[in-house]
A and B are shown apart, each in its own frame.
Chain A
Amino acid sequence: MTHIKVNVDGTTYEDEVEPRLLLAHYLRDRLGLTGTPIGCDTSNCGACTVDLDGATVKSCSVLAVQADGSEVTTVQGLAKDGEWTALQRAFHERHALQCGYCTPGMIMAARDLLRENPQPTSYEIRQALEGNLCRCTGYQNIVRAVLAASGQEAPAVAEEVTA
């Protein structure tokens, strides 16, 4: 067992963990922060994406002991005092989620993109989210949501025109 001290979403935790414990399982099973889901076992899907000291990582591919002394932000730490971030609002308003399973990782990856590139093009958004798989949305509304969250004109989603 290894002693670790890690700050997650503003709260500091101290734990004894096995060195082999994955950060994703530490967050989910030990801390009960289940907002970060797991979608694969080969680091492809990105559902488990979190922020680790300002870098975006797939938490299934980081050991909890590697997060010792670090600050981790998950999707559960984004909204402050119940106030959603622009990305969370945009995902809702642009219908950028369906089953919701990829959404936490998708939002975390998009957040990282907008930090580095506040006004990305559609293609840059698609490139940045290449490590995040979604099975429901076909990605287009996710691109629209990220455009909207960056303050850019984003094409709307459908409106009914029949009576």
Chain B
Amino acid sequence: MTTVASNGHRTAFVDNDRKPTGHGRMLRKEDPRFVRGKGRYVDDLQLPGMLHLAILRSPLAHARVLSVDTTLAEAHPKVRLVVTGAMLAEKGLAWMPTLSNDVQAVLATDKVRFQGQEVAFVVAEDRYSARDALELIDVEYEALDPVIDVRTALSPDAPVIRDDLEGKSDNHCFDWETGDAAETDAVFARADVVVSEDIVYPRVHPAPMETCGAVADYDAVDGKLTLWSTTQAPHAHRTLYALVAGLPEHKIRVVSPDIGGGFGNKVPIYPGYVCAIVGSLLTGKPVKWMEDRAENLISTGFARDYVMRGEIAATRDGKILAIRTNVLADHGAFNGTAAPVKYPAGFFGVFTGSYDLEAAHCKMTAVYTNKAPGGVAYACSFRITEAVYLVERIVNCLAFELDMDPVELRMKNFIRPEQFPYRTKTGWVYDSGNYAPTMELAKQLAGYDELRAEQAEKRVRGELMGIGVSFFTEAVGAGPRKDMDILGLGMADGCELRVHPTGKAVVRLSVQTQGQGHETTFAQIVAEELGIPPQDIEVVHGDTDQTPFGLGTYGSRSTPVSGAAAALVARKVRDKAKLIASGMLEVSVADLEWEKGSFRVAGDPNASVTIQDIAMRAHGAGDLPEGVEGGLEAQICYNPENLTYPHGAYICVVDIDPGTAKVTVRRFVAVDDCGTRINPMIIEGQVHGGLTDGVGMALMEMIAFDEDGNCLSGSLMDYLIPTALEVPDWETGFTVTPSPHHPIGAKGVGESATVGSPPAIVNAVVDALAPFGIRHADMPLTPSRVWEAMQGRPVPPI
């Protein structure tokens, strides 16, 4: 069932006290420490005797390392340790596995392969001295030609970047294909209309406000390593450290404390973490590594960098028949892409979008270049940002070609509600969706028809106003373990719930919030199932010694996977509580009815016991029913049967100054459908943040390089992220189409807005430029690039 509502700006302020349990608006439990400066982030940690680590990085994009002289650095009075790649190589630690079964240099041994790559590290008594000592290390390089433009990386004369790989004679990383090529070609051959466009999704960076860092503390006496680090996946990291460093896994404790934003940047293992561990192992002291902003931007996981050729086939009256695409993917110097093993291109296969097609095909080639590794990050849901951008741009190109309204074209081609579960031509099974009402609500909130009328008037006066539409289907909640694993670890998630004798509870998660509000919303899930107020439920996460195993938070997977686990573990506790209640009330289980928070005897309103009464009995004296153990707790490992597929309709209105080509986002309407909504306040905040990402990517952000491979975006002076002045007041609405396979019908939503908004903004800018005959322009649509577009087409970005 779908219900439709909009929050607009008009709803009343409601305090959570009025709704003490269950789903709904509830203020966050984590706020009190943050608004008082009492958060506990990695760099806040101070341990007795703690030393500081700094990393020397390559100034060149591609060069042979001839020698590294550390003599002067070692002589610095406050330096305790200097480590080079050669020293790590002796211990077998110079290279580490990536999340894509490639290897990445921890410290360069043979050569450097991107500017900013780790070459050596220093451990000193304070952070200033550690930085000083970096200046005292003398590295001799022999410069090599770099490979920067992905389009030339496979040229026969291109320098080979990965000569560390046995027999490697080119920069080819992998090929990947999905859909049916022959069938798609046949549909294209008979289509009335075919539109092609080269579409670049430039390299950007998640740039969380807190950079990456770690404190490693190896205790030589009990042989235990504790690593506090900025990780979105503490359990997976623990296992990988066990495999990399050879430490037994039960002697490794990874703690992810408060994280100052992740956005996918904090999924991979970075050389800095490994360096901190080595530093602690060698000095016997706690060692802190905290990168600065420049290091974060130039060396940690970038996002996107897909060069796509999109093609769409349709009938003259606007029935979309097929989509075909070729992709060239720039993976940087090491393939560090965080994606399930069987999905080297992530979930790009959902590029067929929200439309019912006859055929689809994608062929992709990924290559190495002399740039930092990464690719999957920045709320991309494993490459769905790219997929949605491709389909929503190419559909708009078709609308332009057919001279058809872009909303009407989409409505005509939507997968219909009765077609769900819907198997796409690339094999994805969408769980549920009712797209037309979502689109209609967005149109209504935006006043779409009035906007078009206003635009027509303005065009007459030579004013540049654009209206952009995007409609997306996400695929989040990785994932079914038969298909999805990260380096052999199935993508399931655990949850453990203990109810204390007094009826208070602790729920332990394997996922890791980075601001998404899990401490609040997971308490709400359990509260809804058990009737214990959320204030009485403590959420524990991020400490691998304290929490069940699971794969962490990214890909909007927390609610789909761990949220399901939380609901099911609560039901497991409730089932046990029912047995205990039957004993307390001296009736059979079949005679009991659950009313949130208590079991009552059917037909006898006075005979009931609360969950709190049951908890005390479970731990107390007195007999329990036959076969029931004491205590009231349970654990679970949830293996999702499918992903969840939230959707949304976005409409953006831009104005462009015809004199300066500056784009102003005047309005943005976002209608999201993520099924059951656990906490609408938090969802709205997630959407606001993601829409802001979209403005950043569409108009401002890009990690650019010059021809020598110098990263030109290594600071917030050059890598521009939106301030309060670049974004409008967001207008949000929602529909509710629950996921049929999820225990509470909830779908993920965290990344929807980041996925859905860039095409809406670009579509709006291109729409505004229609008088110039422009059908496409690549991001970021900075004033200079829009100006170029107004003169013809701007050069695609590198």
Contact = CB atoms under 8 A, between A and B. Distances in A.
Interface of A: 18, 20-21, 25, 28-29, 32-42, 44-45, 47, 74-76, 78-79, 84, 88, 91-93, 95, 97-104, 107, 122, 125-127, 129-143, 155-162
B683 A158 contact: yes
Contacts of A44: 715-717
B680 interface: yes
B610 interface: no
B681 interface: yes
B37 A39 contact: no
A39 B38 CA distance: 17
29 contacts: A32-B46, A35-B38, A37-B41, A39-B211, A41-B293, A41-B294, A44-B715, A45-B293, A76-B37, A78-B36, A92-B28, A98-B689, A99-B259, A100-B39, A101-B208, A129-B724, A132-B723, A133-B721, A134-B724, A136-B685, A139-B722, A157-B13, A157-B685, A158-B732, A160-B23, A160-B25, A160-B680, A161-B7, A162-B3
Contact of B11 (A29, A97, A141, A156): A156
A162 B716 CA distance: 42
Interface in B583-632: none
A47 B721 CA distance: 14
Contacts of B293: 39-42, 45
Interface of A is mostly: loop
Contacts of A25: 127-128
B515 interface: yes
Contact of A38 (B10, B28, B43, B680): B43
A20 B128 contact: yes
B186 interface: no
Contact of B210 (A101, A138, A159): A101
B736 interface: yes
Contacts of B725: 126-127, 130
Contacts of B10: 155
Nearest to A76: B37
Contacts of A141: 684-685, 688
Given A88-B35, A162-B5, 17 more contacts: A35-B38, A40-B292, A40-B716, A75-B36, A98-B515, A98-B689, A100-B35, A100-B258, A134-B724, A138-B689, A141-B688, A156-B11, A157-B25, A158-B11, A158-B683, A158-B732, A159-B11
B542 interface: no
B209 A102 contact: yes
A154 B102 CA distance: 51
B480 interface: no
A134 B727 CA distance: 12
A129 B724 CA distance: 7
B25 A79 contact: no
Given A37-B260, A136-B261, A130 B37 contact: no
A122 B729 contact: yes
B753 to A, nearest CB: 8
B31 A42 contact: no
B316 to A, nearest CB: 41
Contacts of A125: 724
Interface string B17-37: 000000111011011111111
Contact of B685 (A98, A100, A127): A98
Given A32-B46, A35-B36, A95 B685 contact: yes
Most chain A C-beta atoms within 10 Å of own C-beta, residue among B23, B686, B691, B724: B724
A25 B130 CA distance: 14
A155 B686 CA distance: 18
B37 A34 contact: yes
Contacts of B680: 158-160
Contact of B14 (A35, A127, A159): A159
A107 to B, nearest CB: 7
Given A36-B37, A92-B31, A158 B25 contact: yes
Given A97-B31, A99-B261, A158 B724 contact: no
A33 B534 CA distance: 31
Contacts, number: 224
Contact of B515 (A75, A100, A131): A100
Contacts of A160: 23-25, 677, 679-680
B688 A137 contact: yes
Contacts of A28: 43-44
Nearest to A88: B35
Nearest to A78: B36
Contacts of A99: 208-210, 258-262, 514-515
A44 B294 CA distance: 12
A105 B393 CA distance: 38
Nearest to A44: B716
A133 B723 contact: yes
Nearest to B30: A100
B682 interface: yes
A47 B209 contact: yes
B234 to A, nearest CB: 16
Contacts of B127: 25, 29
Nearest to B686: A98
A18 B128 contact: yes
Given A21-B128, A133-B209, A92 B685 contact: no
A137 B32 CA distance: 17
Nearest to B19: A160
B207 interface: yes
A104 to B, nearest CB: 5
A140 B36 contact: no
B286 to A, nearest CB: 14
A131 B730 CA distance: 21
A127 B210 CA distance: 23
A101 B41 contact: yes
A134 B211 CA distance: 13
A110 to B, nearest CB: 11
Given A141-B688, A156-B12, A157-B684, A42 B716 contact: yes
A79 B43 CA distance: 23
A130 B729 CA distance: 15
A134 B209 contact: yes
B302 interface: no
B178 interface: no
Contact of B684 (A95, A127, A132, A143): A95
B712 to A, nearest CB: 14
B692 interface: yes
A132 B36 CA distance: 17
Contacts of A107: 35
B517 interface: yes
B210 A37 contact: yes
Q: Which of A98, A99, A134 neighbours the largest number of chain B CB atoms within 10 Å of its CB? A: A99
Given A37-B41, A88-B36, A139-B727, A162 B209 contact: no
A92 B32 contact: yes
Contacts of A92: 27-28, 31-32, 35
A146 B28 CA distance: 18
Contacts of B5: 161-162
Contacts of A35: 36-39
Interface string B37-56: 11101011010000000000
B595 to A, nearest CB: 15
A21 B126 CA distance: 11
A147 B185 CA distance: 57
Contacts of B729: 122, 140, 143
Contacts of B241: none
A104 B209 CA distance: 12
A50 B722 CA distance: 22
Contacts of B24: 159-160
Interface in B652-696: 677, 679-692
A40 B723 CA distance: 15
B683 A103 contact: no
Contact of B715 (A32, A40, A74, A95): A40
B435 interface: no
A149 B690 CA distance: 25
Nearest to B12: A156
Contacts of B514: 99
